Structure 1
Amino acid sequence: METTNFADQIANGKNRTNVRCQFCNSFMLKAQEGSYREKEADIPLMQQKKDRTADTLNTEPLKYFWLVEDMMSFENIGFSHSIDGKKFLVCADCERGPVGYHELSTRHCYLALNRVVHKDV
């Protein structure tokens, strides 16, 4: 179930603190670079279940994101191969994810709030 208490992470509609990888603490996004958005999206689970077939991904619906309009705003992010008009975002250091997705049609990135940590250090 997705956490919905992100009010302390938002300041003036943007990320109040830096955004980092929850696994290796890699610095992904500077404070005030992402705009808060609520948008329904099915994102693959970070760990896939063993009983899935080779051509299906187990996903979960996510709703709370940081919108990053310019991919060059990221400090450290990686991109997957294209799948159905999207590239999934991963940590560029430990390659864990997906932590969000890049929409090929708009070139916007959506970083899931519950798949990253918010801290300045």
Structure 2
Amino acid sequence: MTEEATISDQIADGKNKTNVRCQFCNSLMLKAREGSYSEQEIDVPLMVQKQDRTADNLNTEPLKHFWLVKDMLTFENIGFSHTVDGKKFLVCADCERGPVGYHELSTKHCYLALKRVVHTD
């Protein structure tokens, strides 16, 4: 199954069909139908950094598929990193693993990466 097909299985009427949970501790991050699907490509730091990185040189990967959450209070459990280039990265509030997405300071919108979470009821 392609990534695009897997993603389309998670969307109903432009929203997340199921609950969104942390892939490490299973903590509920976002309830079903609370996020809107959004596509944009942005480089997000890897969840596990390679040994050769420096403080100024984080290893990143381009992510494209996100759940847009316009109000940070919509989340069930989410944590925020320090500000980096006008963004705060999102982490699981329970196990502090991440980043699972980012918070855009200028718009106050949060983007939760589909690739970095699990979808389950």
Shorter chain as denominator, the TM-score bin is over 0.9
Structural mapping, 1:1-121, within 5 Å: 3-4=3-4, 5-120=6-121
Work out the CA distance in 1 between the residues paired with 2:52 and 2:41: 26
What RMSD over aligned residues (CA atoms) do the two structures have, in Å?
1.1
What amino acid is the match of 1:36?
Y
Question: What letter corresponds to residue 82 of structure 2 in structure 1?
Answer: H
Counterpart of 1:11, as a letter, is A
Determine the C-alpha separation between the residues in 2 that align with 1:77 and 1:107: 14
**Aligned partners of 1:92, 1:66: CA distance in 2, in Å?**
17
Count of matched residue positions in the alignment of Structure 1 and Structure 2? 119
* C-alpha deviation, 1:55, in angstroms: 1.6
**Whole-angstrom CA distance in 1 between matches of 2:97 and 2:44:** 14
Which stretches of structure 1, 4 residues or more, deviate above 2 A after TM superposition? Answer: none
Instruction: Provide, for residues 50-94 of structure 1, a one-character-per-residue CA deviation record: whole Å limited to 9, x for no partner.
Output: 011222111000000000000000000000000000000000000
Unaligned runs of 5+ in 2: none
**What TM-score results when the alignment is normalised by the length of structure 1?**
0.96
User: Given the two structures, how large is their TM-score scaled by the length of structure 2?
Assistant: 0.96
**Structure 1: gaps of 5 or more residues:** none
